Amino acid sequence: MDAHAQLVPPVPHVSSGPALELEALVFDVFGTLVDWRSSLIEDLTAFGAERGIVADWPAFVDAWRGAYAPSMDRVRHGEQPWTSLDALHRASFTRLATQYGFENALDEAGRRWCVDRWHRLRPWPDTVAGLRRLRTRYLLGTLSNGNVRLLADLAKSARLPMDVILSAELFRHYKPDPEVYRGAIDLLGAEPRRVMLVAAHNSDLQAAAQQGMRTAFVARPFEYGPDQQKDQVADPGIEFNVRDLGELADRLGA
Amino acid sequence: MDAHAQLVPPVPHVSSGPALELEALVFDVFGTLVDWRSSLIEDLTAFGAERGIVADWPAFVDAWRGAYAPSMDRVRHGEQPWTSLDALHRASFTRLATQYGFENALDEAGRRWCVDRWHRLRPWPDTVAGLRRLRTRYLLGTLSNGNVRLLADLAKSARLPMDVILSAELFRHYKPDPEVYRGAIDLLGAEPRRVMLVAAHNSDLQAAAQQGMRTAFVARPFEYGPDQQKDQVADPGIEFNVRDLGELADRLGA
Name the residue among B219, B33, B53 with its Cα closest to residue B121: B33
Of chain B, the percentage scoring pLDDT greater than 70 comes to 92
Instruction: For residue B108, name the pLDDT band (cuts at 50, 70, 90).
Output: very high
Mean per-residue pLDDT of chain B: 93
C-alpha dist (Å) from residue B45 to A13, B110, B112: 18, 13, 16
Would the pLDDT of B16 be above 70?
no
pLDDT in tens, B136-147: 999 999 999 999
Instruction: Check residue A12 and give its pLDDT.
Output: 43
> In residues, how long is chain A?
254
The CATH number of domain B2-35+123-251, selected from 3.40.47.10, 3.30.70.20, 3.40.50.1000, 3.30.1360.70:
3.40.50.1000
Instruction: Give the containing element (helix H, strand E) for A5.
Output: helix A2-6
Q: Is the peptide bond before A176 cis (omega within 30 degrees of 0)?
A: yes
Instruction: Check residue A7 and give its pLDDT.
Output: 42
Would the pLDDT of B51 be above 70?
yes
pLDDT in tens, B185-211: 999 999 999 999 999 999 999 999 999
Encode A158-178: b = buried (16+ Cβ within 10 Å), e = exposed: bebbbbbbbbbbbbebbbbbe
Of the candidates A7, A86, A157, the beta carbon closest to that of B46 is on A7
Would the pLDDT of B5 be above 70?
no
Instruction: Check residue A62 and give its pLDDT.
Output: 97
CB contact under 8 A, A7 and B139: no
Query: What does the pLDDT average to over B234-244?
Result: 96
B159 in contact with A at a CB cutoff of 8 Å? no
The CATH number of domain B36-120, selected from 3.10.150.10, 1.10.150.240, 2.40.50.140, 1.10.600.10:
1.10.150.240
A157 in contact with B at a CB cutoff of 8 Å? yes
B187 in contact with A at a CB cutoff of 8 Å? yes
- ipTM reported for the complex, 2 dp: 0.92
Read off the amino acid at residue B164.
Answer: V
Instruction: Check residue A133 and give its pLDDT.
Output: 98
Contacts of A185 in chain B (CB under 8 A): none
CB contact under 8 A, A122 and B3: yes
Instruction: Check residue A75 and give its pLDDT.
Output: 96
Q: Do domains B2-35+123-251 and B36-120 have the same CATH topology?
A: no
Instruction: Give the residue ranges of chain A where pLDDT is below 50.
Output: 1-20
B123 in contact with A at a CB cutoff of 8 Å? no
Instruction: Check residue A206 and give its pLDDT.
Output: 98
Of the candidates B6, B13, B152, the beta carbon closest to that of A157 is on B6
C-alpha dist (Å) from residue B192 to A112, B26, B136, B188, B210: 20, 12, 21, 9, 10
Of the candidates A7, A10, A152, the beta carbon closest to that of B164 is on A152
A149 in contact with B at a CB cutoff of 8 Å? yes
Instruction: Check residue B215 and give its pLDDT.
Output: 98
Query: What does the pLDDT average to over B50-71?
Result: 96
Largest alpha-carbon pair distance within chain A? 67
B74 in contact with A at a CB cutoff of 8 Å? no
Would the pLDDT of B18 be above 50?
no
Distance from CA of B113 to the nearest CA of A (A): 6
The CATH number of domain A19-35+122-251, selected from 3.40.640.10, 3.40.50.1000, 3.40.50.12160, 3.40.1550.10:
3.40.50.1000
pLDDT in tens, B169-192: 999 999 999 999 999 999 999 999
- This prediction has a pTM of 0.93
Cα–Cα distance, A196 to A69 (Å, whole number)? 23
Domain limits, chain A: 19-35+122-251, 36-120
